[in-house]
Amino acid sequence: MVKPSGQTAPDTKTRILDAADEIFVRRGIDGARMQEIADQAGVNKALLHYHFRSKADLARAVWHRIASSFVPGILHMMASDLSLDEKIDQFVDAYHRRLTRHPYLLPYVISEAARHPDLVDNLYSPERRQAARHMIDKLREQIDAVAKARRIAPVSAEQFFITLAGSCLYPFVARPMISEALGLSTTKFEGFMERRRRELPAFLKRALQP
């Protein structure tokens, strides 16, 4: 559910999109049933095909909406004039808050991206790609500056960004396996993640500026 929760009652098309979002994210595209989406939206199944020609089209529409709500905000923050430390704090904090509320979202994005490569093409428009490049350039400047001040070798900006993303996002992706491996109940896992939100930024900063 990555719907912009506006004030006015949503029209049918939006209600279908909201419903499809929820069902697709929960069951996966292949596992989702048009009937279940119709039920969730409180409309007839045929109406889904009226507004969105096919299941694949509906899936594309949902995917596009998720991408639009996910990517630009983070790109903007990471390209801003915030300090490196603040960026790390905000990145970790933003994703922890967000993904805690939507635990199915990331596994959904991962699995559909792996299985339906065409969906990924819509993730980055040329402008967004340009913004991503700019973000990395900005990050590189900051990392180099810090490294120079500390007289240590700088790490690659791309590598650092993926390390940041990976260490932050992986628990949301692999939650069931982690719970099993570490023997964490639901409550304990939540405690683990809360602690992680507080401690991970310090760990990453330390690697960057020893």
Partner DNA sequence: GTCTATACTCTGATAGAC
Partner DNA sequence: GTCTATCAGAGTATAGAC
Both tokens of 70, joined, read 């996910």
d(CA 23, CA 114): 19
List for the chain the helix, strand, coil content (%; round to 5): 75, 0, 25
C-alpha to C-alpha distances, 89 to 24, 77, 97, 132, 205, nearest whole angstrom: 31, 11, 12, 19, 10
From 123, 138, 147, 154, residue interacting with a second copy (rule: CB under 8 A): 123
Write the binding mask 65 to 94 for a second copy: x where contact by CB under 8 A, - elsewhere.
------x-----------------------
- Our finding on whether 61 is near DNA (CB under 7 A) is no
d(CA 128, CA 141): 20
Between residues 32 and 136, which has the closer beta carbon with respect to DNA?
A: 32
d(CA 85, CA 123): 27
Q: Smallest distance from the beta carbon of 3 to a second copy, in angstroms?
A: 21
Residue whose tokens read 């596992």: 31
Between residues 64 and 196, which has the closer beta carbon with respect to a second copy?
A: 196
Write the binding mask 171 to 210 for a second copy: x where contact by CB under 8 A, - elsewhere.
x-xxxxxx-xxxx--------x--xx--xx--xx-xx--x
From 37, 84, 108, 142, residue interacting with a second copy (rule: CB under 8 A): 108
- Our finding on whether 147 is near a second copy (CB under 8 A) is no
Burial letters for 18-48: b for 16+ Cβ neighbours within 10 Å, e otherwise? bbbbbbbbeebbeebebebbbebbebeeeeb
DSSP string, 28-49: -TTT--HHHHHHHHTS-HHHHH
Say if residues 95 and 169 touch (Cβ distance below 8 Å): yes
Q: Smallest distance from the beta carbon of 7 to a second copy, in angstroms?
A: 32
Residues from 70 through 129 that contact DNA (CB under 7 A): none
Q: Smallest distance from the beta carbon of 29 to a second copy, in angstroms?
A: 8
50, interface contact from a second copy, DNA, none, CB < 5-8 Å by kind = DNA
User: Which residues form the interface with a second copy (CB under 8 A)?
Assistant: 27-28, 30-31, 71, 104, 107-111, 113-115, 117, 120-121, 123-124, 129, 132-133, 136, 155-156, 158-160, 162-163, 165-171, 173-178, 180-183, 192, 195-196, 199-200, 203-204, 206-207, 210
